[in-house]
Amino acid sequence: MNYDASMTYAPNYETQTFHDVLVEQLRNTPWLMLSVGIHVVIAIVLNFMGAAAGQPVMETVFKVVAEQAPAPLDPIPEVEDPKDIEDPKDPTDEQPVPTEVFAEDPMIDAESEFDEPVDGDTLNDQPIDNHTVNNSTVGLGSSSGSFGDGRGGGRTAGPGGTRGKSFQKPLTAGLDWLARHQSPDGRWDCDAYMGQGAPERGPLCTGKGNAMYDVGVTGLSLLAYLGAGNTHRQGEYQKTVKAGLKWLKAQQDAEGCFGSRGDPHFTYNHAVAALAMAEAYGMTHAPAWRTSAQRGIDFCMKAQNPYKAWRYGVRSGDNDSSVTGWMVMALKSAKLSGLEVNETAMQWARDWIVAMTDEETGRVGYTKRGERPVRAEGRIERFPADTSESLTAVGVLTRIFAGDDPGESAAIKAGAELMAKRLPVWDPEGGRVDMYYWYYASLALFQCGGAEWSAWTGKMKSAMIDTQRDDGNFAGSWDPVGPWGEDGGRVYSTALMTMCMEVFFRYPRVFGTRNK
C-alpha cells in the first residue's frame, strides 16, 4: 500500500516504542498543549497578584488547574519494545552467574612429576573448598567448579605445575577418539560406536560393550571432556559436550533417574550420569543443567538404603562398595557445585565403608568385610582378584571425601600401603589391567600423597601413555582388556584412561601436603 499524505494512519505499535507513541499522541492533540500553556500563564499571573496582596495562591491555582484539566486520553496500549522481546534460543546458552575466569588454554605447558623426578607432594595442595584456579568438583570436571573452582581446564597454575607435557598429546588423542565415535544423537553407543569410524582410516574399531550401559559410558565420556576443561561454552569440544549432555538429560525419567531401570545394574548408569550432570552444572552454573542435576542427586539419595549405602535398585536392602563409590562422588560433586545434598547420606556411606574395612589389613570389601574385589561370572581366572585393590581405593577416597584426614587415619594409611603394593602394570595376559582400579587409586593416592603417591605415579605413565593406540580408527583409544572391558567396551576403556590422566590435575588436596 502506498503512503497518502492526506490520510490519517493509526500508530504502528508493533514497531514504535512507548515514547514514540506518546509523542505521536501529543502531536495529534494540540488543544491539550494549548490548554496546559494557558493554565500555566494564569497560574503565574495569579501567583504574582497573590504575592502582592500577601496571600499564597499557588497551591490553590494548581488545585483549580488540576480540577479543570480535560479528560485524560485513553490509555495507550502497552507494547513490548522489540529489543526487549526474548528471541527463542537454546537454554544451554543462558549465561550463568559470574564466576572466576580461568586459563583459556586447558593444555598449557607445565612441568609435572612425570616430566621431572617424581615428587609426590609438589602438586596442588590448596584446600578443597578454596576457590582457586586449580580444580574440578569431584575430580571429574574442569573450568569453574567446586573442588577449587578450576575443574581441569583451570588447573594449570598449582604449585610446581600440574599439567605434564607428557600428557598433552595422549590426552588430546583420547578426546579426539571419543569425539570421532560419538553418535549423531549425542550418546556414546557401547555396542555400535564403531559405526562412527572413517573407512578411509582403515579397519573399524573392535571391542564393543553392552548396550545397556550407553547411559553410563556417555557419562564417563562427558567426564573425560569436563576433566580437561571442556564445557558446552568453552574449549575445543563444545558441540561434543553439549550434544552429550542434552542426550543424557533426555534419558532422565520423572523421578530423576537417568536411563532405563530394566536391568538391575541401572544404579551404575545413574550414578555416573548424575556425577557428569552435577559436574557440568558446577562448572558453568548454566540453568539448563541445574534442574536435571538436582533431580539426579535427589534420586541418588532416594535410592540409598537407610543408615547404609547403595547397590542395585532403590532401597533394596543390599549394599556394595562399588556402586557406593560412584554415588559418593556424585554427592560430593553436587555439594561443591551448590546443589542440595543431605549430609547424612555421606555419613551413612562412610559408615558402610568402615564396616567393610578389615582393621588389620586396611582392605575394603565388596559386600563383606575385607573381601577381595568381585569379578563377573567366568572372569575370575582371567582377572585374578588378588591383582587389584579397587574397593580399597574406593574406601579410602570415600573416607577422605567424608572428612577423614589421611594424615591421622590409620585405616587410610593402611589402604594406601596396600595400593602401593599393587601398582599399575599393563599386562593383559596376566590379567593385571584394571582401569577401574587405576582410576580410583589415582584419585585416592593423590589425596594421600607421600611415598605411596610417588610410587604410583612412577608406574602410571607407562601404563597409560605407552599403551595408547596410534593406528587408524583406533588412534587415541585403549584396548578394553580389563575385567570390565566386555561390559563398557572401547568407549569405557578410553574414557576411563583419559580420566586417569586428568586425575593429576583434577583435585586439589583436601588436607594439604602429606609427609613422606
Which has the closest alpha carbon to 123: 131, 142, 115?
A: 115
Question: pLDDT digit of tens for each residue in the chain (516 aa)?
Answer: 443 444 443 434 334 444 444 444 444 444 444 454 544 444 444 444 444 444 443 333 333 333 344 444 344 333 333 332 233 455 555 554 433 333 333 332 323 344 443 344 443 433 323 322 233 455 444 433 333 333 433 333 332 334 456 788 999 999 999 999 999 999 999 999 999 999 999 999 999 999 999 999 999 999 999 999 999 999 999 999 999 999 999 999 999 999 999 988 999 999 999 999 999 999 999 999 999 999 999 999 999 999 999 999 999 999 999 999 999 999 999 999 999 999 999 999 999 999 999 999 999 999 999 999 989 888 989 999 999 999 999 999 999 999 999 999 999 999 999 999 999 999 999 999 999 999 999 999 999 999 999 999 989 989 999 999 999 999 999 999 999 999 999 999 999 999 999 987 665 666 554 544
Structural domain containing residue 41? 18-79
- Is residue 489 domain-shared with residue 382, that is, in the same domain? yes
Q: What pTM did the predictor assign?
A: 0.75
- Is residue 384 domain-shared with residue 268, that is, in the same domain? yes
Is 489 a member of any domain?
A: yes
Is 150 a member of any domain?
A: no
Phi, psi for residue 364 in degrees, rounded to 5:
-105, 130
Exposure b/e, 131-154, CB count within 10 A at least 16 = b:
ebbbbbbbbbbbbbbbbbbbbbbb
Structure letter (DSSP) for residue 503:
G
Is 335 a member of any domain?
A: yes
- Is residue 209 domain-shared with residue 326, that is, in the same domain? yes
Contact 227/495 with Cβ under 8 angstroms? no
Is 152 a member of any domain?
A: no
* pLDDT of 214: 98
* pLDDT of 92: 57
Is 92 a member of any domain?
A: no
- Is residue 66 domain-shared with residue 172, that is, in the same domain? no
Residue 128 and residue 113: Cα distance in Å, rounded?
21
Is 127 a member of any domain?
A: no
Angle at which helices 321-336 and 390-401 pack, to 10 degrees?
30
Is 483 a member of any domain?
A: yes
CATH code for the domain of 501:
1.50.10.10
Q: How many domains does the chain have?
A: 2
* pLDDT of 166: 76
Is 414 a member of any domain?
A: yes
**C-alpha pair distances (Å), 221 with each of 174, 217, 256, 274, 399:** 10, 6, 21, 13, 26
